[in-house]
């Protein structure tokens, strides 16, 4: 049985007090190999759970697929039964370009570190975000972190997971996914949306628990998400990409404040 957390022995140290031995609950980190047509495409370090979502979301955000009928089958396999996902593409879908292949593996902290070349990092989306007329109240945005945090079940036990949550423009939670890798959490959300037939995610908001990196902005664009919000700061490349994509980008969403870095017109400003 796959577990998103595990127990390990630890020594708790209190300065000026006694050290105590006790088990601690930690987030699980294991490799997942993604194969397309029986050919290994990538290995990512992830938290077990939602493997099919992760694999399919990865293929969406890499530009390999974009609709449910692009996939014939997606199954869990491998010697242990759950650390390999084998995807069979429909006949009309070209096989992944060589530039998508990872030279090594994708760590839990960075999903583009293993890209074969810098030119392969920017993947063009098939969705036009500029045409998305979604409009959001500021009160909706500032409520997103607490709503996301309330849905993080594994974080409550481990304190060591990132989360990505998909919301409606009214702030209603659609789906949340957790993972040791922030990029994996987003891919899991996107893969879920693909299987639900929701792509492009017009009119939706994506809230992430960490910073807004270039990579997360790209993944949101590939899924057709018009507004990305993050608890922490965006990077310069994330802002530049959001401007190019027509995406509204909010950062430092904390308490009753946030910053808008790109396309603020979707937020009702006083």
Asked if residue 99 lies in contact with residue 122, where contact means CB atoms within 8 angstroms, the answer is: no
HSE-up (13 A, CA, CB side) for residue 231: 15
Q: How far apart are CA 53 and CA 51, in angstroms?
A: 5
Q: Which of 248, 241, 263, 250 is nearest to 123 (CA)?
A: 241
Rg (CA), the chain: 19
Q: Measured between alpha carbons, how far is 91 from 70 in angstroms, rounded to an integer?
A: 8
Q: Which of 2, 67, 110, 267 is catalytic?
A: 110
Place of tokens 């990865």: 58
Active site residue 113: no
Side-chain-side CA neighbours of 113 within 13 Å: the count stands at: 13
Q: Which residues are catalytic?
A: 110
């Amino acid at each position: 049985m796959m577990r998103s957390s595990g127990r390990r022995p630890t020594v708790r140290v209190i300065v000026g007090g006694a050290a105590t031995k006790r088990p601690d609950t930690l987030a699980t980190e294991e490799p997942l190999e993604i194969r397309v047509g029986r050919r290994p495409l990538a290995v990512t370090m992830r938290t077990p759970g939602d493997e099919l979502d992760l694999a399919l979301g990865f293929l969406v955000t890499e530009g390999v697929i974009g609709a449910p009928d692009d996939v014939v089958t997606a199954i869990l396999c491998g010697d242990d039964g759950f650390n390999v996902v084998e995807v069979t593409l429909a006949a009309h879908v070209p096989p992944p370009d060589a530039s998508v292949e990872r030279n090594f593996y994708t760590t839990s902290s960075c999903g583009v570190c293993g890209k074969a070349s810098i030119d392969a990092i920017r993947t063009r989306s098939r969705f036009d975000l500029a045409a998305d007329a979604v409009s959001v109240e500021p009160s909706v945005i500032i409520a997103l972190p607490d709503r996301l945090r309330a849905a993080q079940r594994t974080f409550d036990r481990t304190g060591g997971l990132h989360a990505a949550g998909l919301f409606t423009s009214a702030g209603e939670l659609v789906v949340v996914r957790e993972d040791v890798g922030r990029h994996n959490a987003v891919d899991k959300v996107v893969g879920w949306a693909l299987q639900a037939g929701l792509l492009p995610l017009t009119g939706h908001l994506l809230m992430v628990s960490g910073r807004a990196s270039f990579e997360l902005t790209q993944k949101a664009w590939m899924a057709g998400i018009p507004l990305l919000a993050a608890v922490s700061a965006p990077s310069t490349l994330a802002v530049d990409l959001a401007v190019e994509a027509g995406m509204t980008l909010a950062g430092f969403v904390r308490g009753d404040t946030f910053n808008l870095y790109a396309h603020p017109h979707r937020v009702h400003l006083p």
